[in-house]
Amino acid sequence: MHKRSKSLTLTTVSVVMCTAALAPSVSFAADSPTVDKGESYAENHGLTADDVNRINALNEKALRLGQPENPPGQVPPNAVPSPRDSASDSGMEIPRAEPLGRMPDAYRAYGGRASTPVGNYIRKWQQIYSHRDGRQQQMTAEQREQLAYGCVGVTWVNSGNYPKNKLGFAFFDEDKYQDAVKNGSPRRGETRAEFEGRIAKQSFDEEKGFKRARDVASIMNRALEGSRDEGAYLTKLKAELAERDDALLGEESRSDFYAALRNTPSFKDEDGGNFDPSKMKAVIYSKHFWSGQDPRSSSDKRKYGDPGGFRPDQATGLVDMSQDRNTSRSATKPGESYVNFDYGWFGDQKETAADKTIWTHANHYHSPNGGMGPMEVYESIFQKWSAGYADFDRGAYMVTFIPKSWNTAPDKVTQGWR
C-alpha cells in the first residue's frame, strides 16, 4: 500500500479497513510480544489521520448502502448530508471490469498469506467463485462497487448482501478468566481495567469459536437437504439438534437462530432460493471488533475493553451482536485511535484442520489515484486471520446462507493462484 513519511501522525478512527494479521492466533497468543506491545494497524501500515478520516466516511456510506432499499449506486432516501459523506472525497474508485476469459496471475505468497491487486482477485473470482448454475459470470459493476469497500466488500460480494452479523458464535473460557482475575494482578503500569480487559481477551479461543460455527452450519445444511419449505426445514433442524442434545434446540422460535433463513434476502429472491430451503446452503464469515462499544459505559471500558461485552452464551455459543455499533476502541493516550473492524470470508470449505483453511480479506478501500493507494486482497491461513492488533479484542464467526447455485463457497480453496 502507499506509504507515508514517518514524521506524519499515525492514527486511526472507526473505519472500513481490513487488517493484515501478522501476530499469532489470539487463542494462544496471550503473551505474544506483538500483542503485548499494543501495535495498532495504523502503526504497522503507516497511516495518517487524513487516511482514516476518509475511510471512516466510506464506512458510514457502506452501512447505509448495505440496506436492501439502498443498493450501491443509489443515494439513500432522506439521507442527511455530512461533510464526510462523499465517497469521491475519499478517492474511492470502482475497480475496472476484467475480461471473463482472462486468467489471474500468481499471488505473492509469504508467511501464511498470499496477496494480490484487486483486479487480479476479480479475475480469480470470475474463474472460480462466480459460477451460477455452473456458468461463469463476469463481476458486475454493482459487485465491483461492493468489493471496492475493502474487507467488508470481499464478504459483501461473496455473500450477496451486506453482512448483518446476527448469527455469531464464539468461545469464552469462563474458568480461565475467573482464575486469572482471582489469582493474577495488573502488570507494572497497568490499570485494573486494563488488566481485566486483557484477561478477558485472552480467555476467548477463536479456533473453538470457529469450530462451533462450523458445527452449527453443518447441522443446518443437513436440515436444508430435501426441505421444500421453511416448516419442513425447521422440523428437520430441531430433530438434528435433539439428536445431538444441542442447547440451540431451546432457542425461542423467533430467535435469530431459527429466523436466520427467512431473514436472508437471497432465500426470498426468485433467482436465489425462491423460498425453497433445499436450494440454500449455510456458509461462514468472520468479524474482528472491539468490545467496549457501549457509550454509557466507563471510559476505561471503551479504552481497555469490556470484560462482559460480547461474551457468548456458555451453552449455545451464540453471541448477542445487537449492540455492535461498529465503534472503534477509544484512545488510550492523546493522538491515538484505532481501526473498528475486520471481515474475513470463509464460505463452505471442507478442510477439517483449522489452520489449513483460507480466509479472504483486504487491506482498505480501492483508491488507486488517492492517498490510500490501490486495494490489495489477502488470502490468509487461519492463524494469520485470527491474529490481532491492539484494535480488536473479539472475534465472532457468523453463519449466513447463500443459494447452492452460487459457487462463492467452493469445498476446496487454494491459496493464491498457481
Segment 107-121 shows an average pLDDT of: 95
- Out of 18, 45, 51, 151, which one is annotated catalytic? 151
Task: Give Dmax over CA atoms of the chain in angstroms.
Answer: 62
Segment 326-343 shows an average pLDDT of: 85
Give the confidence band of 169 by pLDDT, cuts at 50, 70, 90.
Answer: very high
Give the confidence band of 72 by pLDDT, cuts at 50, 70, 90.
Answer: low
> What is the share, in percent, of the chain residues with pLDDT greater than 70?
83
Q: Which segments of 244-389 does DSSP mark as H helices, in order?
A: 256-259, 265-268, 299-304, 382-386
361 is a catalytic site residue:
yes
Q: Quote the pLDDT of residue 63.
A: 74
Q: Which of 64, 92, 17 is nearest to 162 (CA)?
A: 64
Segment 389-408 shows an average pLDDT of: 92
What pLDDT, in 10s, does the model give residues 235-286? 999 999 999 999 999 999 999 999 999 999 999 999 899 999 999 999 999 9
User: In terms of pTM, does the model score above 0.85?
Assistant: yes
**Under 8 Å CB-to-CB from 74, ≥6 apart: which residues?**
65
- Residue found by looking up cell 454493482 in the block: 142
Is 20 a residue whose pLDDT tops 80?
no
Least confident of 66-75, 157-166, 167-176, 223-232: 66-75
Segment 83-108 shows an average pLDDT of: 79
CA distance 66 to 361: 18
Q: Quote the pLDDT of residue 389.
A: 79
Strand-pair category, 168-169 with 341-347 = unpaired
CA distance 215 to 221: 10
Is 348 a residue whose pLDDT tops 90?
yes
- Out of 256, 324, 342, 348, which one is annotated catalytic? 342
CA distance 336 to 184: 28
31 is a catalytic site residue:
no
- Out of 361, 364, 366, 393, which one is annotated catalytic? 361
At residue 55, the 3 state secondary structure works out as: helix
Question: Which has more confidence, 73 or 308?
Answer: 308
Quote the mean pLDDT of the chain.
Answer: 84
Is 378 a residue whose pLDDT tops 90?
yes
CB 191 within 8 A of CB 95: no
- Residue found by looking up cell 490468509 in the block: 380
Give the confidence band of 413 by pLDDT, cuts at 50, 70, 90.
Answer: confident
151 is a catalytic site residue:
yes
C-alpha cell at 406: 452460487
CB 46 within 8 A of CB 15: no
Is 138 a residue whose pLDDT tops 70?
yes
CB 340 within 8 A of CB 367: no
Segment 185-206 shows an average pLDDT of: 96
Q: Quote the pLDDT of residue 133.
A: 84
